[in-house]
Amino acid sequence: MAKAIKKQALGRGLSALLQEPEKNQQTAGSTSSSPQVGTIVELELNRIEVNPFQPRTQFKEEAIRELASSIQELGVIQPITVRKTKANTFQLVSGERRFRASKLLDLKTIPAYIRIANDQEALEMALVENIQREDLDPIEIALSYQRLIDDIQLTQEQMSQRVGKKRSTIANYLRLLKLDPLIQTGMRDGFISMGHGRAIVNISSHTDQIAIYKEIISNKLSVRATETLVKNYNTPNSVKTTKTNELPDFVKNGVEKIASYFGHKIDVKMEKKGAGKILIPFHSKEDYDRILKLFKSDK
């Protein structure tokens, strides 16, 4: 028989969605064989089904084990949220990490807040709770935002209010979905940061995005160096000189190729006698090392 425990405050974003019923508050002395909606109870784990709307696709085993260790010492501090499905079964809405960790410990019950929710509400609650977590990777957050747009039909302004994020922040996450899938995977695996991704997304061609991505990995470029590389990549044909029109044709014809090869604007200075200099700028140690490797690869 399920036993009710004292109700606790829920997360900010999730509580806005959980419009609790005004009745059916189960007490510890209840003799009901089925927990009532609107109560927090010790619910048997074998009566809970996982959430098919769970937007999160990766659960790190090490993090689950660490959470299990904490639960073993302190118990489950924050109840999971479930919804009633059939007579004696429930479906997980939020708290799958706590659910998994409790099963890992072979616990029999877990504190659970019970509510009524249709499929759309269950998806929205799972998405909003996930977005507010601090351990999600940027692509998981972006995908959650996209699902709120596609499945729940929320505008960016409505999402901003639901999750407590600026509209510009939401837009920046959504732009990451324009990255090539290979780069999205690299971001999820921690090879590059969101800052790198925000720089790369300014390149429209996926082929070129991958070329930049590989260069970042091989040369361990910082976000600032990546931003400079992308900026120069988008304007490789610019020639920086005080007297562009006075350059002879043989110089003009070759400058574009040189700039494209080094991924930089280059400076060309000509003297009246026909001699000249080609200056290749660099913007950081990483950028300088990248240029050196270009010379070495041609040997």
Higher-confidence residue of 35 and 236: namely 35
Say whether pLDDT at 249 is over 90. Answer: no
User: What is the percentage of the chain residues whose pLDDT exceeds 90?
Assistant: 20
**What was the pLDDT predicted at 281?**
75
Residue whose pair of structure tokens reads 């990255």 in the numeric block: 179
Asked if residue 153 is part of any domain, the answer here is no
Which domain covers residue 187, as residue numbers?
179-297
Write down which residue in 67, 99, 118 finishes a domain: 118
Asked if residue 137 is part of any domain, the answer here is no
Domain count across the chain: 2
Asked if residue 213 is part of any domain, the answer here is yes
Asked if residue 160 is part of any domain, the answer here is no
Pair (183, 98) in one structural domain: no
Count of beta carbons in the 10 Å neighbourhood of residue 88: 11
Say whether pLDDT at 133 is over 70. Answer: no
CATH code of residue 7: 3.90.1530.30
Pair (107, 192) in one structural domain: no
Pair (93, 183) in one structural domain: no
Task: Determine which one of 96, 121, 215, 227 is catalytic.
Answer: 96
Asked if residue 52 is part of any domain, the answer here is yes
Write down which residue in 118, 145, 170 finishes a domain: 118
Question: 0.85 cut: is pTM over it?
Answer: no
Write down which residue in 96, 118, 140 finishes a domain: 118
Asked if residue 105 is part of any domain, the answer here is yes
Is 96 annotated as catalytic? Answer: yes
**What was the pLDDT predicted at 105?**
93
Asked if residue 23 is part of any domain, the answer here is yes
**What was the pLDDT predicted at 223?**
92
For the beta sheet containing 239-240, the strands, ordered from the edge strand earlier in sequence to the opposite edge, are 239-240, 266-270, 276-279
Name the H helices within the chain.
12-17, 61-74, 96-104, 119-131, 138-150, 156-163, 167-175, 181-188, 194-200, 206-219, 223-234, 249-262, 285-297
